[in-house]
Structures are given as structure tokens and as C-alpha cells.
């Protein structure tokens, strides 16, 4: 007996495939999308498979990818920029982050993002945490140190970019609060870095 190993997402099979295709195309294009948590988890599986195909970089894998990516621009990005970004990473190309519900029915919401990209939220939030410690003159928490290693490990020039992002956030704290420390951690973020605002 066969078993269903995926969420139906309240749709017929053809509608489900079309919806996932649209989500994955948006993810490849924008590198970060906001949707419901169940949809994010299902789209994540497809996106991971597509990036694995891109890393193979064969005619067969390109033809397979075209089933989900209909435009030359997205295929070129997948087999170019994205393939190169993950050349040394064996899996874990995407991340799903829980966020507050953003629609009226209070459905579980999430952000699905490509890791190590310009909109990597964990990278931005880790840098912001370090910036807060720097601004307040407090030590960096051990968990934050582990996160620093995670978000910079496979990123090209990761440590240098991380330090630049920390400096950006420190400057934001100084501009907003001056010499007065505050427990309010809200501030503008670096252009191109996604936030969890709903």
C-alpha cells in the first residue's frame, strides 16, 4: 500500500503542485518569502531538491529543474549564482523560521529563505545581537557565539561581512540612542536584509 508522505495543504494534487511551483519560483527570485508554516515546509523540500539538481549541473538536472522554473532568468540564477553559493555545502540550503501570524485566521506563519544570501535573517539577527552587546559593553552569549560560527561557516567572506553588518547595527544604535542604553532593540536594518515584521 502506498502512503502519502507530504501535506496536501487543502488542495487537489494539481493545485498543490502549482502552488508549490509558485512558492519556489518566488523563493529563487527573492531569496526570502513569507507564507504559512505548512506551505513553507513543503516548498522547502522542493527548493532543496532543485538546488541539489543545480549542484549536479548536468543537462538532465537542468531539464528536471525546468519543470518548476519556467523562465530563463530563474534557471540561470539557480544554475549560476545559487549553485556557486552552495558549491561547498552538502544540504541545508534553506531555512524555515516561525513568525507571528500575519493574516486574519491566525494560521501558523513562517519565512522560508535561502541561507547565506543577502536576505538571511539569522545572519542579520545574530549580527544585531552582537551589535547590542558591543553597544552596551556586555559579553557575547555562548549561544550567540555558536550562531556566529553557523552563519559565517559557508558564507563567502562571511566573517568580514558579519563584522561590517555588526558595525552597521552599532551605528544604528548610536544614532538612535546616543550615549543612552536602552532595552528597546528595534532599529532600522541594513537594506536587503529581511525582517520578521508582519
- For the entire predicted model, the pTM comes to 0.77
User: What are phi and psi for residue 104, nearest 5 degrees?
Assistant: -70, -20
- Residues contacting 68, CB < 8 A, separation 6+: 21, 24, 25, 46, 50
Instruction: Quickly state the pLDDT bin for 178 (edges 50, 70, 90).
Output: confident
Mean pLDDT of 142-165: 95
pLDDT tens digits, 1-20 = 344 355 555 556 788 889 99
- Residues contacting 181, CB < 8 A, separation 6+: 135, 136
CA nearest neighbour of 137 among 173, 102, 111: 173
Domains within the chain, CATH numbers bracketed = 13-114 (3.90.1030.10), 121-177 (no CATH)
pLDDT tens digits, 67-87 = 889 899 999 999 999 999 999
Distance, C-alpha 16 to centroid of its chain: 22
pLDDT tens digits, 112-149 = 999 999 999 999 999 999 999 999 999 999 999 999 99
For residues 113 and 70, is the Cβ–Cβ distance under 8 A?
no
Instruction: Quickly state the pLDDT bin for 197 (edges 50, 70, 90).
Output: very low
Instruction: Report the chain's mean pLDDT, rounded to a whole number.
Output: 86
- Residues contacting 135, CB < 8 A, separation 6+: 170, 173, 174, 177, 181
Amino acid at each position: 500500500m502506498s502512503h502519502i508522505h507530504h501535506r496536501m495543504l487543502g488542495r487537489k494534487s494539481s493545485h498543490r503542485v502549482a502552488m508549490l511551483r509558485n512558492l519556489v519560483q518566488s523563493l529563487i527570485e527573492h531569496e526570502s518569502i513569507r507564507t504559512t508554516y505548512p506551505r513553507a515546509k513543503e516548498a522547502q523540500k522542493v527548493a532543496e531538491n532543485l538546488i541539489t539538481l543545480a549542484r549536479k549541473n548536468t543537462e538532465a538536472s537542468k531539464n528536471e529543474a525546468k519543470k518548476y522554473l519556467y523562465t530563463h532568468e530563474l534557471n540561470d540564477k539557480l544554475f549560476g549564482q545559487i549553485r556557486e553559493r552552495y558549491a561547498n555545502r552538502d544540504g541545508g540550503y534553506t531555512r524555515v523560521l516561525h513568525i507571528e501570524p500575519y493574516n486574519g485566521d491566525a494560521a501558523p506563519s513562517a519565512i522560508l529563505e535561502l541561507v547565506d544570501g543577502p536576505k538571511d535573517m539569522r545572519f542579520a539577527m545574530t549580527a544585531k545581537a552582537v551589535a547590542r552587546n558591543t553597544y552596551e559593553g556586555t559579553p557575547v552569549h555562548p549561544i550567540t557565539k555558536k550562531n556566529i560560527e553557523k552563519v559565517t561557516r559557508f558564507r563567502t567572506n562571511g566573517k568580514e561581512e558579519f563584522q561590517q553588518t555588526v558595525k552597521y547595527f552599532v551605528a544604528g544604535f548610536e544614532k538612535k540612542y546616543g550615549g543612552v542604553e536602552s532595552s528597546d532593540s528595534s532599529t532600522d536594518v541594513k537594506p536587503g536584509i529581511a525582517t520578521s515584521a508582519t
